[in-house]
Amino acid sequence: MACHVDFRCLDEGFGGKTYKRKRALQQQEAVEDATTAEMDMDFEESGSNPSKRQAVSSAEEPNKPVIGRPTYDGVIAGRVSGRNWKQVRTHRASAINVSKKRSTAEERAREKEIKKAYQERKKELTEAIRQNKVAKRKQREEREKKKKENILKSGTKLQKITNPKTLQRIAKSKQRKLLKLTFFRAEKGERSSSTGFVQTRGTRFILNGSPFLFNGFNSYWMMRVATQPSQRYKVSNVYREATAAGLTVCRTWAFSDGGDQALQMSPGVYDERVFQALDFVISEARKYGVRLILSLSNNYKDYGGRPQYVKWARDAGVHVNSDDDFYTNNVVKTYYKNHIKKVLTRINTITRIAYKDDPTIMAWELINEPRCQQDLSGKTLTIWVKEMASYVKSLDNKHLVEIGMEGFYGDSMPNKKQYNPGYQVGTDFISNNQIKEVDFTTIHAYPDIWLSKKNDNEQMIFMRRWITSHGTDSSTILKKPLILTEFGKSSKDPGYQLSARDTYMNAVYHNIYTSARSGGLAGGLVWQILAERMEPFDDGYEIVLSQDPSTTRIIAQQSRQMASLEHTMSK
């Protein structure tokens, strides 16, 4: 008998429901394992967490996901940026931006106030730091200044000692005799800064009863520069460097007529700001023990001078022919006399001393380099000098007066014309200076200009004859002291070299010293000394003591020699 066995039901006969339940559990576990393996494979393929996968949108509602769980980034993107679920996310929003609440208007205003207060405080602290640095720098400069004043220098520099303890130590030193000259200069500097007026006795200058010899300089620009308070330090620097080199006399302008930064803006009308600049120049000279020769006008149009006075008269309807009418026209002469009176009676706003009573001023100069082409004989100028020198003396009989001449000879002594550089300029060194109100004589020397076609050797020969001739005439004929008030060598000369200038100055200083020993010249004023960073005033003759060490050594050496000669004469 044949039969068929259905093996699919065999297990029910061998275990019944128990094995059936186990089989069902096994099948369920197998399905779960397969599902887990499939998910792991998807995760590995996608390279990211399933919870971070983009949700799939449905056909009915594109903005709403159907399957999968919406990602956190997706929620942020939808709520913050307004991006649809299908749109590609360009940036990942931050959760802090979702939860951040907008600040109120009051809070924002408060934040602005805090920020503003912070900025203001920051500025205050910055300014306080800056001022503190400035104060420390000034203190440091003062310390350095006092240190220089209290150290005795030797070699190429001189220095005034003011510290009493230092003076006592030097007085007790065994080498006191070696320092005798320096003591003399310091003592004289103390006297010169107090009450002593420079006077004349025969062919010598006298200060407090003793002979007065010196080495000096020109700095015509001082009042102009001091008009700007921020630039006044340049005046102080020049005084300080000059005194360190032994220079004790300075010649500068006490005029500026018309034009820019004028002292006298129109006849009798003055700018107080510029006058206060001149006050400063005089007060600083007093501080550093420097004597001043103040010039009251100019022959040239620079800073106004003679041409400006004539122009003022012409503008006022006065008939004038040329600039030479400055010496003859009564209106023009009145303008000039008014300026003399204004300057001499000025009371210094710093020292509270009238100019005419200030011993810091050594002398008044009537005019810088007077010339008169209408009368080359010098007679016209003689009449003018007589009138103006007498007027100055009527206002001020304490100070010396000089003309401001270059030294050209005129018709009074025709044989002297051979010493001129080949021409006349309307002055007469002899007759002009014979006026009794003129206390001393002056000469200028510019062979590089007057004899520009001559070589250096010929120019030097002329210089020696020029100094010797005037020294002799001043001491024997005029019987008055003589000063070489301008000399120098220009860097604009053809083939100029610094060594050539130093050689020239050495030669001039030697001639001055030789003349001084024989009773001729009393000193020389080199043209011109500038401070650093004063290029607009460069004229080729400028010397910056702090930048020209070789020239500074020559100047200081001359100062020592003149001081030594002065000391010898005072015995």
Is residue 32 among the annotated active site residues?
Answer: no
* DSSP letter for each residue of 256-321: -BSSTT-SEEETTEE-HHHHHHHHHHHHHHHHHT-EEEEE--BSSSTTSHHHHHHHHHHHTT----
Contact 207, 248 (CB under 8 A): no
Report the C-alpha gap between 127 and 315 in whole angstroms: 52
Which of 134, 203, 138, 58 lies closest to 516, judged by CA? 203
**Strand 198-201 versus strand 400-402 pairing type:** unpaired
Q: Which H, E and C letters describe 382-412, residue by residue?
A: HHHHHHHHHHHHHHCCCCEEECCCCCCCCCC
Helix (H) or strand (E) holding 115: helix 105-149
Report the C-alpha gap between 247 and 235 in whole angstroms: 14
Is residue 29 among the annotated active site residues?
Answer: no
* DSSP letter for each residue of 491-525: TTSTT--HHHHHHHHHHHHHHHHHHHHTT-EEEEE
Helices (H), 47-104: 72-76, 95-99
Residue type (1 letter), 368: N
Dihedral angle, C-alpha 46, 50, 54, 58, nearest 10 °: 110
Report the C-alpha gap between 28 and 25 in whole angstroms: 5
DSSP 250: E
Report the C-alpha gap between 100 and 94 in whole angstroms: 10
* Crossing angle for the helix pair 498-517 and 456-473, to the nearest 10 degrees: 20
Residue type (1 letter), 300: Y
Q: At residue 423, what are phi and psi to the nearest 5 degrees?
A: -160, 170
Contact 354, 282 (CB under 8 A): no
- CA 79: distance to chain centroid? 68
Catalytic residue among 402, 406, 486, 542: 486
**How far from 143 is each of 162, 186, 259, CA to CA, in Å?**
14, 21, 41
Catalytic residue among 369, 402, 406, 542: 369
List, in sequence order, every residue forming a beta bridge with 204; answer none if it has no partner: 201
Instruction: State the burial class of residue 491 (Cβ atoms within 10 Å of its Cβ: 0-12, 13-18, 19+).
Output: middle
Report the C-alpha gap between 259 and 65 in whole angstroms: 90
Q: At residue 234, what are phi and psi to the nearest 5 degrees?
A: -65, -40
- Enter the tokens of residue 418: 């051979």
Contact 474, 516 (CB under 8 A): no
Q: Active-site residue numbers?
A: 369, 486
